[in-house]
Chain A
Amino acid sequence: MSSSAQSSSAWPNLGDAPRAGSDVRLSVEQVSYAYSANPSQAPLFTLEANSFQSRPGEIVAILGPNASGKSTLLKLIAGALAPLSGRVLLDGFVTHTLAPRARAQRIAMVQQETPLLFPARAWEFVLQGRHPYGRTLRFENEEDVLVARNALAQVGADHLSDRWMNEISGGERQRVILARALCQQPLLLLLDEPTLHLDIGAQVDLLATLRRLAAENRYTVVVVTHELNLAAEYADQVVLLQKGKSLRVGSPASVYQRDLLEEVFHTPLTVEQGSNGRPRVNLLPAS
């Protein structure tokens, strides 16, 4: 029996089997979307076709001003929205057609805000990440506890395990939320402005943690952010969006062009090359 026959039986329900020899994990193929108030009206917002590919261990940053379609693109990648055209493939599976459980076993999402209605301890929260692996009425077993402990250790939050989620700092909470995402043992880790309410030290800390996790666990990470310099420092690939259009996709050095960024963000700035070959953006005072 040939090996290709074996591999196709291991991947049921595939449109395309993963190409032999290619290690592309995430493939965003001409994905577009349109929001409208009701179906008969013209769309209020359109995300035009977007494409990029990413490998395990890579960090992709989605950049752009407000209302440029960053979060929409992230939701399309997560499979939470069905694209108007095109598709998102994760290891050959179309993300928006996966069943919720199967999706949660492959894709973990860290949202901008994670509201808590009733108090919970950090370990309870982290164990929620095991939900996609449980049966209907499950009680967590030792394996779940082990995975949760590992996840907390990986983000350096073991000491927070018994604390209440509403009594720890924003940076600490973000770590616990990240640990819950790791508990899902995903292939793809998505983060929507994870640094939003963090001070600068915690922001750098979080991105450095993501960098390390991507390398150690071979996650593909896609992060939506406003922090140009953090993205330049930590991302392998940058997708620059403006008003629903994908302007440029590539390495930070190739995307960070002074006139392009000035036009997109409507503010005077300079771009210089850092000693590590990564670009650095300096805002100029508006005159």
Chain B
Amino acid sequence: MRPLTLRRLFLQCSLLAAILFVVVVVALKLGAVPVSLYGLGRDLISVLLHQTSALSSDYGMIVIDIRLPRILLAIFVGASLSVAGTSFQALLRNPLADPYVLGVSSGAALGAVLALILEPHLALPVWLAALFTPLGAFLGAAATIAAVYFLGQREGQIDSATLLLAGIISASFLSAIIMFLMTTLSGRDFRGMAFWLMGDLSSSLQPSLRWVLGAGFFVAAGAIYTTASDLNLLLAGEKEAMHLGVDVRRVRLVVYVAASILTGLAVSVSGAIGYVGLLVPHVMRLLFGSDHRTLLPTAAFGGAIALVLADTLARTVVAPSELPVGAMTALAGAPLFIYLLRRGSA
């Protein structure tokens, strides 16, 4: 018997944090413009010391102003999607559940598109205007998961196959509505929007939005983490969990709202990126076991690592042009998924 200890959890997270750090350094170095490791280190230190004027390398501005924010965004989006996927898989007792498959990402995308289209027509105060898109995405995500959960039931019980079908149908229906809305856009906006829908991390964010994303992630992921040991019991079913003292309704509400926030925030800044929320939890489960007290934090790190890698590939393989990162995760994720499926562990 080897129950989980805080020490072991800390060691696992440190290991993943170290890997993430290496991946981030590599991602900062690679790109259309080459940067030396030495110059990179010096620039990072001067940024940390708030001496932005002292950026020494010629390309410091590229690294610090373009690559670093984009990598931070990838970390945030990857961790969010992966934590949301992990909690959906536990709550719905479905190893194939993730924000993308369940249509939650599409719902968030529709909410974001609606918010983008409506925003110029509403006289909103500045602070609300910045938050309007993420808010729309959250509402879209929350409404979709409620609808999919309702449609996925059979005789009052969640049915795995029906649930996935409900998710896939919702996703295609919502995508059709998004396409319809996009026809109202001008040609240039249309291309930008299409790229964003495929999953794209290249958009630059307002500083206030960055704070909202960061705070939103920690609040929502923290809320999900408080239910970690309840989620372990929910894997065996809601009745089973109830008999072991889990307040199922409270856990369900907390996880749905928090996972919708995570998905909504991630989608509003990066579009619908598939496979991260589906695959990372499985890989982490293989490596660290299925205890959610370990799985949730390791999945957050794993999602961050995976998406930083994917985005680095997306902007380097066809440099100086770029792929949408969503295309990259699908290119890498689909074969990995098939491999896990054949191995019987997915």
Contact = CB atoms under 8 A, between A and B. Distances in A.
Contacts of A134: 229
Interface in B1-48: 1-6
Contacts of A136: 226, 229
B239 A111 contact: yes
Contact of B233 (A131, A140, A161, A162): A131
Contact of A111 (B225, B228, B230, B240): B240
A101 B246 CA distance: 7
B286 to A, nearest CB: 10
B245 A131 contact: yes
Interface in A82-109: 99-101, 103-105, 107-109
Contact of B236 (A114, A140, A144): A114
Nearest to B226: A136
Contact of B3 (A107, A115, A119, A127): A127
Given A100-B245, A111-B240, A128-B244, A139 B1 contact: no
A247 interface: no
Interface residues of A, number: 39
Nearest to A133: B245
Contacts of B93: 115, 117
A149 interface: yes
Contacts of A128: 232-233, 244
A131 B229 contact: yes
A125 to B, nearest CB: 9
A219 interface: no
B157 to A, nearest CB: 12
Contacts of A228: none
Contacts of A107: 243
Interface string B235-262: 1110110111111100000000000000
B285 interface: yes
B216 interface: no
A124 B243 contact: no
A128 B229 CA distance: 9
A139 B93 CA distance: 23
Chain B contact residues: over half helix, strand or loop, or mixed? loop
Contacts of A129: 244
Contact of A123 (B1, B228, B246): B1
B67 interface: no
Nearest to A119: B290
Contacts of B5: 139
A138 B237 CA distance: 21
A137 B229 contact: yes
B298 to A, nearest CB: 14
B233 A80 contact: no
Interface in B192-237: 225-226, 228-230, 232-233, 235-237
A109 B3 CA distance: 23
A138 B244 contact: no
Residue among B5, B232, B239, B243 with the highest chain A CB neighbour number at 10 A: B243
A104 B228 contact: no
B226 A137 contact: yes
A124 B291 contact: yes
B293 A80 contact: no
Contacts of B285: 118
B69 interface: no
Interface string A146-162: 00110000000000011
A176 interface: no
A124 B240 CA distance: 15
B64 to A, nearest CB: 37
Interface in B262-315: 285, 290-291, 293
A100 B246 contact: yes
A273 B2 CA distance: 50
Contact of A140 (B4, B240, B290): B4
A120 B245 CA distance: 20
B236 to A, nearest CB: 6
Contacts of A268: none
A195 interface: no
A80 B243 contact: yes
A184 B243 CA distance: 10
Contacts of B247: 99-101
Contacts of B245: 100-101, 103-105, 131-132
A161 B3 CA distance: 12
Given A117-B95, A119-B290, A139 B233 contact: no
B3 A144 contact: yes
A116 interface: yes
Nearest to A104: B245
A138 to B, nearest CB: 7
Q: Name the 9 nearest CB pairs between A and B, nearest first.
A: A104-B245, A132-B245, A118-B290, A140-B3, A109-B243, A101-B245, A123-B1, A117-B235, A100-B247
Given A99-B247, A107-B243, 9 more contacts: A80-B242, A115-B237, A117-B95, A128-B244, A129-B244, A132-B244, A132-B245, A136-B229, A145-B3
27 contacts: A80-B243, A99-B247, A100-B246, A100-B247, A101-B247, A107-B243, A109-B243, A114-B236, A115-B93, A115-B236, A118-B95, A120-B290, A123-B2, A124-B291, A127-B3, A128-B232, A128-B244, A131-B244, A136-B229, A137-B225, A137-B228, A137-B229, A138-B229, A139-B4, A140-B3, A145-B1, A184-B244
